[in-house]
Amino acid sequence: MRRSGSEPTQARSPLRLRLGLALLGVVWGVAAAIGFGFGDEPGWAAVFAVIGALAAIDAVLVIRHFRQGSRYQPGRDVPPFHPRSRQRDKHRR
């Protein structure tokens, strides 16, 4: 596939979709756990409670990533990412 050179301006993050799906998983997981709990199905209630908890953890991680911003660097010891230039690629071959 040929690059147009405008990919960074057109790029979209899937984090909003992931956050929406995680929140949907929290709602459905908790609702199903409550429903199965009242229906005398403790095994299924536990399964859906775990699903809801995992979805909640994922939602927290996505929100944390949003707050860090797109230019987040993990620490002083980790250098920023620099894309490889074509000149350096030609010398390595």
- Does pLDDT of 14 surpass 80? yes
- Report d(CA 49, CA 16) in Å as an integer: 23
- Asked if residue 61 has pLDDT above 70, the reply is yes
Q: Is 75 among the domain residues?
A: no
Residue type, 66: F
pTM summary value: 0.65
pLDDT computed for residue 65 by the predictor: 87
Measured CA to CA in angstroms, residue 49 lies from 22, 27, 34, 40, 74 at distances of: 14, 10, 8, 14, 32
Q: For residue 8, is it within any domain?
A: no
pLDDT top residue among 13 and 37 = 37
The tally of domains found in the chain comes to 1
Has residue 83 been placed in a domain?
no
pLDDT given for residue 47 in this prediction: 96
| 36 in Cβ contact with 44 (< 8 Å) | yes
For the chain, give the longest Cα–Cα distance: 68
Q: How far is CA 73 from the centre of its chain?
A: 17
87: in domain: no
Does residue 61 lie in a domain region? yes
Report the C-alpha gap between 72 and 87 in whole angstroms.
27
Q: Provide the residue range defining the domain that includes 60.
A: 13-69
Is the pLDDT assigned to residue 3 strictly greater than 70? no
Asked, for residue 86, whether it belongs to a domain, the answer is no
**DSSP code of 91?**
H
Does residue 43 sit within a domain? yes
Residue 6 lies in a domain: no
